[in-house]
Copies of this chain bind each other. A is one copy, B any other.
Amino acid sequence: MSPLRIDPIAEARRHWTERWGEEPARPMAAVTSIMRAQQVLMARLNELLRPLGLTFPRYEALMLLSFTRAGALPLGKIGERLQVHRTSITKTIDGLEHSGLVRRVPHESDRRAVLAEILPAGRTVAESATEALNEAGFATEPLSAAELSSVGSVLRTLRLGAGYFPG
């Protein structure tokens, strides 16, 4: 990708300020920045994970499972933790199951709930993927440690206030 010659968000902000004032221009620019940063990061991360047959959302679900004691979680709980709708989680787990990295198992006591359980192949792939992502600094170049901490801390307020989609 070639670097951008102009900054489209600065352009949008100029239009906004002219027509609607500084007040709504600020959140517009911040939201648009988050959208663009997410797209850039997602494309880079998926590129890093492609050789392992993973996407970033699938990687995230695998890691979540790998950190639990039983290596398994109800699908609803995965959705809560990753703050995504049930339909997205279903799709993610479908993909992982299709690749032989997790399997669905019935819940011991709640007959309506289904668990996703990480398989040994899932742990192996998650390990290799983590090595690749750690090595690449999670594709955050050229951000500094201070910049990463600052973004994380501001967005924490937004994330925690927003809560989760009930599974």
Residues of chain A at the chain B interface (Cβ within 8 Å): 1-4, 7-9, 11-12, 15, 20, 24, 26-45, 56, 60, 63-64, 67, 80-85, 130, 133-134, 137-143, 145, 147-152, 154-166
Contacts of A157 in B (CB 8 A): 142-143, 147
Give chain A's interface secondary structure class: helix
**Total identical chains:** 2
B160 touches A4 (CB 8 A): yes
B164 touches A1 (CB 8 A): yes
Contacts of A1 in B (CB 8 A): 162-166
Nearest-neighbour CB distance to chain B for A12, whole angstroms, equals 7
B60 touches A148 (CB 8 A): no
Contacts of A24 in B (CB 8 A): 133-134, 137-138
B30 touches A159 (CB 8 A): no
| Interface residue from B4, B15, B35, B151 paired with A30 (Cβ < 8 Å) | B151
B9 touches A148 (CB 8 A): no
B160 touches A155 (CB 8 A): no
B34 touches A60 (CB 8 A): no
Known contacts A3-B161, A150-B154; is A30 also within 8 Å of B166 by CB? no
Residue picked from A83, A139, A149, most chain B C-beta under 10 Å: A83
Contacts of A35 in B (CB 8 A): 38, 41-42, 56, 60
A8 touches B82 (CB 8 A): yes
